[in-house]
């Protein structure tokens, strides 16, 4: 089974994980800084870009910037007057993201909001409703982010959350042990998206798990 999974991952990487020089430089930087595990994979980034483009989203909130890989993937899917508000507690990470993507024209669509995500979300209420909300941040706060999304995502809007397998822990085969809080929160997050009645939803079984919902 492990061999098949490895072969499948390699195939997806070779065929569907397309990166240009800017995306590659962001990934290389994250690897150099030993934080690549916190960043969406090229394959999953492609899925997020595809969904953003297919649903023609225009105004987006991203919770978790890191060095801007997913930010840029989303921004490239937006129309010329689209806007992406990206949140990260680390201002230094956002400054690195700005520097790494500065030559890409789509970077002009991105608004960087450093500081506590919950505080930034409070400020963003005035910009609601949003066409898409992408969650890839503190796993223990996913329910807080979901409950905010429930209120400020428009009807027909797209919800996407990364790492929702929580390294295999949600289905009992953890590659590493998460905190009890993170595990409890992630299980409840997936359950609420699946059963609350607010979303048409699924969990795309990528390596990390992408929970996706369209708000009714």
- The domain of 73 spans 2-215
Residue range 41-97, pLDDT digits in tens: 999 999 999 999 999 999 999 999 999 999 999 999 999 999 999 999 999 999 999
CATH code of 147's domain: 3.40.50.150
8: number of Cβ within 10 Å = 11
Residue range 124-142, pLDDT digits in tens: 999 999 999 999 999 999 9
| Intra-chain end-to-end CA distance of the chain, in Å | 38
Is 7 a residue whose pLDDT tops 50? yes
Q: Give dist(CA 58, CA 93) in Å, integer.
A: 24
Domain count of the chain? 1
């Amino acid at each position: 089974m492990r061999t098949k999974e490895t072969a499948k991952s390699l195939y997806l990487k070779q065929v569907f994980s397309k990166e240009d020089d800017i995306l590659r430089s962001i990934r290389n930087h994250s690897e150099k800084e030993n934080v690549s595990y916190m960043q969406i994979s090229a394959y999953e980034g492609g899925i997020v870009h595809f969904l953003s483009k297919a649903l023609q989203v225009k105004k987006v909130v991203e919770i978790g910037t890191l060095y801007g890989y997913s930010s840029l993937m989303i921004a490239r899917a937006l129309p010329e007057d689209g806007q992406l508000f990206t949140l990260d507690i680390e201002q230094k990470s956002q400054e690195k993201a700005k520097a790494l993507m500065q030559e890409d024209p789509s970077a002009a669509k991105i608004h960087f909001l450093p500081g506590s995500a919950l505080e930034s979300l409070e400020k963003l209420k005035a910009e609601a409703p949003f066409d898409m909300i992408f969650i890839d941040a503190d796993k223990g706060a996913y329910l807080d982010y979901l409950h905010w999304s429930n209120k400020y995502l428009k009807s027909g809007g797209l919800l996407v959350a990364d790492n929702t397998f929580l390294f295999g822990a949600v289905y009992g085969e953890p590659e590493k042990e998460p905190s009890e809080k993170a595990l409890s929160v992630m299980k409840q997050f997936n359950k609420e998206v699946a059963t609350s009645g607010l979303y048409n939803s699924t969990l795309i079984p990528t390596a990390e798990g992408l929970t996706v919902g369209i708000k009714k």
